[in-house]
Amino acid sequence: VLELGAGTGRATAFLARSAARVVAFDLSLEMVAIARRKLAGQSHVTLFVADLRDLALDDRFDLRFELRFDLRFDLVVAVDDPFSHLTGDDDRARAFAAAARHLAPGGRFLLDAAWLSPRAREKAAGPEGLVRERATGKGPGGEGLVVRQVWRCDPESRVCTARFEYRIGNRTAEEASFPARLWSLGELRRRARANGLAITALWGGYDRRPWMRSTSSRLIAELRAGR
Ligand SMILES: C[S@@+](CC[C@H](N)C(=O)[O-])C[C@H]1O[C@@H](n2cnc3c(N)ncnc32)[C@H](O)[C@@H]1O
């Protein structure tokens, strides 16, 4: 398995339970350091820092003859959309092509695409933005931690500004905002076609519920390389 934008190794740990080999990377050195600690001692897992846009993995198999073999994977996964951080067309094209290039014949590419339903997108285009708030366990002192997200998106380009606020009790502990670009089905189809991939399934969640354009809160696409 090749995992793109693995972050702190949240999904890597899950994949490592059943895959013979997991190769995972992220752009952030800090995140890779956390993932390495989390997966220490798992010799079938390789973690490194790389940029998705320039990924080119090869195995130097025979050093005497300097033969290079490109590394190809049965499964390429992108959990919680690392592509969303690439807002420019050229960056997205390069990153998508890199994912496609690393697929073995018949291999699958699972893209957990940043996606909002039409209603959510309408809200995100409105004056208040799309607000999502959820309690996620405990803060460092055992108090409740609440994460409040505000998404403001341009309906045409689907480029958004996402603001995350981490609240512990009445206090804002951290705030961060970043640009993110949502996928449309049209963009997904276009990039699949350009890279010789076929979209073989669309799910609305990791429980494999079917994707519904008007109600699904996420879009998980399975793409396959031709043989
Ligand atoms: C929303 S996080 C998801 C992390 C992880 N997949 C998970 O589900 O926990 C997106 C990740 O993409 C990474 N990322 C963003 N741009 C990247 C790039 N150009 N190359 C590699 N990773 C990138 C970020 O550093 C971040 O860890």
Task: Give the pLDDT of residue 67.
Answer: 58
From the CB of 35, is ligand 1 less than 6 Å away? no
Per-residue pLDDT of the chain (227 residues; tens, 9 = 90+): 999 999 999 999 999 999 999 999 999 999 999 999 999 999 999 999 999 999 998 765 555 655 566 789 999 999 999 999 999 999 999 999 999 999 999 999 999 999 999 999 999 999 999 999 999 877 667 778 999 999 999 999 999 999 999 999 889 999 999 999 999 999 999 999 999 999 999 999 999 999 999 999 899 999 998 65
Helix then strand count (H, E) for the chain reads 5, 13
From the CB of 87, is ligand 1 less than 6 Å away? no
Query: Tokens 């993995």 belong to which residue?
Result: 57
Query: Ramachandran region of residue 9, left (φ > 0), alpha (ψ -120 to 50) or beta?
Result: left
Q: Which atom of ligand 1 lies nearest, measured to the CA of 7? A: 27
How far, in whole angstroms, is CA 161 from its chain's centroid?
A: 17
Strand order in the sheet with 22-26: 45-49, 22-26, 2-3, 73-78, 103-113, 219-225, 197-203
Q: Which atom of ligand 1 lies nearest, measured to the CA of 95? A: 19
Query: Tokens 């996402």 belong to which residue?
Result: 162
